[in-house]
């Protein structure tokens, strides 16, 4: 039986993961199929159990099930435990192993694809929801000098910072939480992890947050990211969407499942062409 993998979520119709993993499989000569698994909102666990019983070897987990996947996993990687969320499950004989590859994917995209090493830099992370929680540990591990979480609800930013305080101290990273209108100025890297653009709201921070020539990255991609990218360019920043992060987190998951690391650059280039052609 061919090994099966899937992206589990609700909705999943829009997911690019099947084409990314199909390209990784072709490139590395791995025999597998990768599907979309639409799970009822109250039926995530049952859907995954059925998939595993029918030949599933693992799955990616997307909105809104990353927290449920964390709760259901029999064991967790340290980074998934810290994030409190799982985006990759591997079905082992001992039970489900949960990992979170989002942060590693983001950091690799910034440091390798965008050629912006984070060590010693000043980084501003906008948002304190699931997207930010998923990447914070990896950002700290990249050892910026300063990492500030700015959020509309300051208490949520504070809670997120507190849950990562020990790691930040261990890594020598200055970690702080603040309001969007008190977040400081001239950051080298700004990462948007809010869903403000989905709500049709503008970029929730002032342009002064960016240093000249800063990198401004939105974790979203496609039409949802465009207002942020336009804003970033208008400030003179280098604008980057979340497509590279998407491909890099997928490569990390593929390696966890198959033990082989695919080349991401050709896959990202193809996907870039497709996404940029979207209306």
Taking residues 58 to 97 in sequence order and writing x for each that binds ligand ATR by CB under 6 A, - otherwise, the string is ----------------------------------------
The two tokens of residue 153 are 């609800």
| DSSP H or E run through 189 | strand 187-192
Tell me which of 204, 242, 244, 262 binds ligand ATR, using CB under 6 A: 204
Q: How far is the CB of 67 from ligand ATR (least distance, A)?
A: 9
**DSSP conformation letters of 253-272:** HHHHHHS-PPP-HHHHHHHH
Nearer to ligand ATR, 127 or 262 (CB): 127
CB 219, CB 131: distance < 8 Å? yes
Contact status: 183 vs ligand ATR (CB under 6 A): no
Residue whose C-alpha is closest to residue 56's, from 15, 6, 129, 97 = 6
Residue span binding ligand ATR (CB under 6 A) among the ranges 15-23, 51-59, 195-203, 236-244: 195-203
Q: How far is the CB of 151 from ligand ATR (least distance, A)?
A: 5
Active-site hit among 16, 66, 90, 108: 66
Q: How many amino acids of this chain bind ligand ATR (CB under 6 A)? A: 16
Where does the chain have alpha helices with state H? 17-28, 44-53, 66-72, 78-83, 102-108, 130-141, 154-163, 165-171, 226-234, 243-258, 265-276
Residue span binding ligand ATR (CB under 6 A) among the ranges 29-37, 54-62, 139-147, 190-198: 190-198
Neighbours of 182 (CB within 10 A): 9
Residue span binding ligand ATR (CB under 6 A) among the ranges 22-30, 136-144, 151-159, 271-279: 151-159
Is 63 strand, coil or helix?
Answer: coil
Nearer to ligand ATR, 152 or 272 (CB): 152
Contact status: 9 vs ligand ATR (CB under 6 A): no
Using a 10 angstrom Cβ sphere, with 0-12 exposed, 13-18 middle and 19 or more buried, the burial of residue 35 is: middle
Contact status: 201 vs ligand ATR (CB under 6 A): yes
Contact status: 143 vs ligand ATR (CB under 6 A): no
Tell me which of 58, 130, 244, 262 binds ligand ATR, using CB under 6 A: 130
Rounded-to-integer distance, Cα 79 and Cα 16, Å: 24
Whether 156 is catalytic is no
Is 109 strand, coil or helix?
Answer: helix
Contact status: 128 vs ligand ATR (CB under 6 A): yes
Contact status: 156 vs ligand ATR (CB under 6 A): yes
Beta strands 174-179; 146-151: pairing state: parallel
Tell me which of 124, 150, 196, 243 binds ligand ATR, using CB under 6 A: 196
> What is the contact surface with ligand ATR in residues (CB under 6 A)?
127-131, 151-153, 156, 193-196, 199, 201, 204
Q: Which residues are known catalytic residues?
A: 66
């Amino acid at each position: 039986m061919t090994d099966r993998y899937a992206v589990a979520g609700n909705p999943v119709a829009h997911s690019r993961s099947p084409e990314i993993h199909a390209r990784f499989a072709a490139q590395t000569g791995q025999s597998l199929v990768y599907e979309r698994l639409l799970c009822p909102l109250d039926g995530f666990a049952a859907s995954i159990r059925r998939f595993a019983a029918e030949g599933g070897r693992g799955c990616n987990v997307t909105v809104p099930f990353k927290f449920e996947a964390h709760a259901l996993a029999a064991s967790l990687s340290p980074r998934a435990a810290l994030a409190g969320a799982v985006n990759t499950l591997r079905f082992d004989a001992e039970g489900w192993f949960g990992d979170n590859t989002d942060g590693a994917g983001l950091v690799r995209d910034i440091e390798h694809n965008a050629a912006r090493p984070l060590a010693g830099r000043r980084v501003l992370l906008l948002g304190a929801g699931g997207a930010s929680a998923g990447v914070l540990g990896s950002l700290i591990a990249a050892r910026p000098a300063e990492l500030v979480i700015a959020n509309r609800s300051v208490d949520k930013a504070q809670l997120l910072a507190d849950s990562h305080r020990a790691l930040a101290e261990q890594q020598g990273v200055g970690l702080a939480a603040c309001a969007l209108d008190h977040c400081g100025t001239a950051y080298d890297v700004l990462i948007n992890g809010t869903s403000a653009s989905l709500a049709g709201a503008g970029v929730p921070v002032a342009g002064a947050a960016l240093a000249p020539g800063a990198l401004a990255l939105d974790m979203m991609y496609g039409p949802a990211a465009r207002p942020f990218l336009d804003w970033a360019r208008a400030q003179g920043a280098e604008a980057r969407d979340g497509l590279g992060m998407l491909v890099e987190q997928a490569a990390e998951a593929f390696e966890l499942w198959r033990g082989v690391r695919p080349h991401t650059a050709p896959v990202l280039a193809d996907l870039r062409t497709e996404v940029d052609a979207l209306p």
